């Protein structure tokens, strides 16, 4: 039974290995990015299947994007605090 649940979770929530610079903030952001992609894919499929409207799909993905952007800012991704600009 545990193997069946694990297989289902791996199918529904695939997770690719991280190949970038290994730092805690990069790993967390990568997980957030993969979650964004998975959720956006579900929303697109719901819209394509006629289960939600185009506007609702847009608003949901826009909200997910804002969450991802906020996570990037909070984690300091892309900032180089110890280098002079």
Q: Where are the beta strands (DSSP E) in 4-70?
A: none
| Residues 56, 70: Cα–Cα separation, whole Å | 21
> For residue 83, is pLDDT > 80?
no
Q: State residue 53's pLDDT score.
A: 98
For residue range 4-63, what is the model confidence (pLDDT) as tens digits?
A: 777 766 666 666 777 777 888 989 999 999 999 999 999 999 999 999 999 999 999 999
Read off the pTM: 0.74
| Residues 49, 13: Cα–Cα separation, whole Å | 20
> For residue 85, is pLDDT > 70?
no
Q: State residue 12's pLDDT score.
A: 64
Identify the H or E element spanning 22: none
């Amino acid at each position: 039974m545990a193997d069946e649940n694990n297989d289902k979770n791996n199918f529904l929530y695939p997770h690719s290995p991280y190949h970038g610079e290994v730092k805690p903030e990069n790993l967390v952001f990568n997980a957030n990015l993969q979650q964004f992609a998975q959720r956006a894919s579900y929303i697109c499929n719901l819209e394509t299947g006629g289960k939600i409207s185009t506007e609702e799909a847009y608003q949901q993905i826009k909200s997910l994007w804002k969450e991802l952007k906020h996570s990037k800012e909070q984690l300091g991704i892309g900032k180089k605090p110890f280098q002079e600009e």
